[in-house]
Structure 1
Amino acid sequence: MAPFLSRGPLPAGRDARVPTPFARLMQRAGSGEARPGIDLRGVVAPARLFPPLMRRPTHGLDPVLGRIGSLEVRLATRPKDIRRAQRLRYRVFYEEMSAVPSGLAALKRRDIDEYDAVCDHLLVIDHAATEAKPFRKPRPKVVGTYRLLRQDQADRHFGFYTAGEFDIAPVLEANRDLRFLELGRSCVLKPYRTKRTVELLWHGIWTYVLHHRIDAMLGCASLDGTDPDRLALPLSFLHHFARAPERWRARALPERHVAMDRLSREAVDPKAALQALPPLIKGYLRLGATFGDGAVVDRQFGTTDVFVVLPVAAIAPRYIGHFGAGAERHAA
C-alpha cells in the first residue's frame, strides 16, 4: 500500500440492513423507497444524487494553514479544489494501488462519494511544480490531501464514514460531551511521501483541531492486503500492545469482524511488528493513538482496515511542543 494512506470504508461496504447515505439520497430524490433490509451494496449512485459540491466556509480560519519551503497546506474552499483532491485520490487509490473503481469513478477519473460535499478537505500544494491543461493557466500542483469530518457535520448529514465498518456508537455515547473529528481519505503523491509533506499535513490538522476545539480524532487506517493471516504480526501487535481502553474501543461490525489476536502476546516481536506496519499507522502510534477490536477486510480496495482513535489529551507532549500549542511552527 501507499506509505501514506488512510481511506476509510466505502458506502458500498455498509451493512445491508442499515440504509446507506445513497439510500437516504434516493428517498430525498423521490427515486424509490429505500428501507432497512434492501441491499443497495454495489449500486453506483448517479452523479445527480450526490449533494453538489459547494464553496466551503472556513469559519473564520485562514484557508492557508502553513508552509514549508515551496509546500503549502490549505483548506479547499471551492468545488474545483475538491475535484483536484478527488483526482489525486483516484491516481493513488486506483491507478497506483489495487482499488477497483466504480463506474462513476472510472468515468470521471475521480474518487467520488457523497461525503465529499459535507467534509472539509486539506490540500498540500507544491508551488514549485505546476499542472498544465489546454487553454488554462498553469497552477500549483496538488500533491497531498486529507478529508476531515466534524461531528456536527456528521450529525446533520450521513453520520461518520467509519460507521460503515465499525460500531462507533458506544464510543460516541461514552464520550458524549466531547467533540469528535473523523480523519480519512488521505493520500500523498509518491514523490512527495517525505517527512516534510507528512509534517505539513499534521500541522494543518493540528491547526484545524485547535480552531474547532476538537477533543478527539477517529477513523480507519489500512494495511495492504486482504489475507489477515499474512498480516498476523502487525494485527496481533496492535491488539496486544496498542488496544484502546474500553471507553474508546470501537468494534468491527459483527458481520465483518476479523480477529486481530492471530498470535499470542508472547509470540509477537514488537520490533518486527513495527517494521511491518504502514508508516501512517506508526505515525498514529507515536502521537498516542490506540486501536479498536477487530479488523475489516475491504476487498474492493485490497486492504484490511483497523479503527484508530486519538484523544487530543493523549497526544504526546513532545508533538504538541513540536507544532506549538497554538500551531505556530509552520504558520503561514
Structure 2
Amino acid sequence: MLTLRKGRYAARMAESDADHAAAQHLRALSFRGEARSDADPYDAECAHVLVEDTRAGTLVCCFRLLHLPNGRAIDRSYSAQFYELSALSAFDGPMVEMGRFCIHPDWRDPDILRVAWGAMTAYVDREGVEMLFGCSSFHGTEARDYYDAFALLRDRHLAPKRWLPRVKAPSVFRFASRLRRKPDLKAAQAKMPPLLRTYLLMGGWVSDHAVIDDDLGTLHVFTGLEIRAVPPGRARLLRAVAG
C-alpha cells in the first residue's frame, strides 16, 4: 500500500467509496468549476492516489493510475479515445497512464506537486514501470492563448518518431505544422501547466497536436516519459521525496 508523508501533506491510495467520491468531487471542481461529481467508466479500472493537507483535513490533489503490462494493451487507456496510439503498441515494458491529475484551485503550495510526484515515483519503482503517459491539459479551448507554449513544445519536446501519436479526435490544433512563430520563452513557461512542466524537466515528450476537449473545457497534449530517460539528478531528487 502506497503511503507517503512530507511536511503537512500525505499521499495515500484511495480505499473506500468515500475516498473515491472525494476524488471525483475534486476533479469536478478543478476541471469543471462545479461542486458535483466527475466520474467515468475508467475509474473502476484504476488505482486512485489522494494527497491530503493533514492540518486542514482537506483533499488537495488527486490522480488515477491505469497499469498496462505493455504497449499491446494501449487501446485500453483513456488517452486512446483521443489519440491514435498504434506506434506505442511496440513498447515492450510495463506502462502506467496517469490521468485526471488535479490540484485544488484554492491551494497554491508547490509542495503539493512535489509530494504527488514523490508518490508517483514510489509507485513506478515498486511496480517496475518503464513508461509513464497521459494527457496534459491546458485550461480553456482557445489555442491562441498558448501559442508560445505550443511553439516551445514544437521546437524542443516532440515525441520521437517511433512513438509519435497520430490524429484521431475530430477537433485538434496541429501546432507542429501550423505555428510559424518563435516562442517567447518567458511567456511559454508562464503558460505551461505545472504537471506538463514537470514531465518535460524529466525528459518527457508530447504529441504534435493538441486535442480540443469541449467536455472538460481543455486543450490537451499526449505526454509520454520513458523512465530510463529521466536525468539521474532529477531521479535522485524524486526518490529523496519518495523515500
Separation in 1, partners of 2:74, 2:223: 22
Q: Name the structure 1 match of 2:116.
A: 201
Q: What is the CA distance between 1:257 and its match in structure 2?
A: 3.6
Greater fraction strand: 2
Q: What is the CA distance between 1:193 and its match in structure 2?
A: 2.8
The correspondence of residues 58-137 of structure 1 with structure 2, limited to 5 A, is 62-64=1-3, 66-95=4-33, 109-129=36-56
Task: Return the match for 1:226 from 141, 151, 160.
Answer: 141
Q: Check conservation: 1:181, 1:214, Cα contact below 8 A.
A: yes
Separation in 2, partners of 1:278, 1:87: 21
Say yes or no: does 1:263 pair with 2:179.
yes
Q: Check conservation: 1:63, 1:76, Cα contact below 8 A.
A: no
Distance 1:158 1:263, change over 3 A: closer
Q: What is the CA distance between 1:185 and its match in structure 2?
A: 0.3
Q: Name the structure 1 match of 2:200.
A: 285
TM-score, normalising length from structure 2?
0.90
Q: Check conservation: 2:64, 2:99, Cα contact below 8 A.
A: yes
The correspondence of residues 1-332 of structure 1 with structure 2, limited to 5 A, is 62-64=1-3, 66-95=4-33, 109-129=36-56, 140-152=57-69, 159-173=76-90, 175=91, 177-253=92-168, 255-261=170-176, 262-264=178-180, 267-324=182-239, 329-331=241-243
Q: Name the structure 2 match of 1:99.
A: none
CA deviation profile, 1:64-93 (whole Å, cap 9, x unmatched) = 2x1112211011122221111111112222
Q: Read off the aligned partner of 2:193 and give its amino acid letter.
A: P
Q: Check conservation: 1:147, 1:184, Cα contact below 8 A.
A: yes
Separation in 2, partners of 1:282, 1:221: 10
Q: What is the CA distance between 1:187 and its match in structure 2?
A: 0.9
Distance 1:123 1:236, change over 3 A: same
Q: What is the CA distance between 1:200 and its match in structure 2?
A: 0.4
Distance 1:302 1:85, change over 3 A: same
Separation in 2, partners of 1:149, 1:76: 14
Distance 1:274 1:127, change over 3 A: closer
Q: Read off the aligned partner of 1:67 and give its amino acid letter.
A: R
Distance 1:286 1:158, change over 3 A: closer
State the structure with more CA Rg: 1
Distance 1:237 1:212, change over 3 A: same
Q: Check conservation: 1:165, 1:256, Cα contact below 8 A.
A: no
Q: What is the CA distance between 1:197 and its match in structure 2?
A: 0.6
Q: Name the structure 2 match of 1:53.
A: none
Q: Name the structure 2 match of 1:15.
A: none
Q: What is the CA distance between 1:278 and its match in structure 2?
A: 1.9
Q: Which runs of 5+ in 1 are unaligned?
A: 1-61, 97-105, 130-139
**What is the SS of the residue equivalent to 2:55?**
strand
Separation in 1, partners of 2:73, 2:166: 24
**What is the SS of the residue equivalent to 2:175?**
coil
Q: What is the CA distance between 1:217 and its match in structure 2?
A: 0.7
Q: Which runs of 5+ in 2 are unaligned?
A: none
Separation in 2, partners of 1:280, 1:330: 17
Q: What is the CA distance between 1:221 and its match in structure 2?
A: 0.7
TM-score, normalising length from structure 1?
0.67
Q: What is the CA distance between 1:167 and its match in structure 2?
A: 0.9
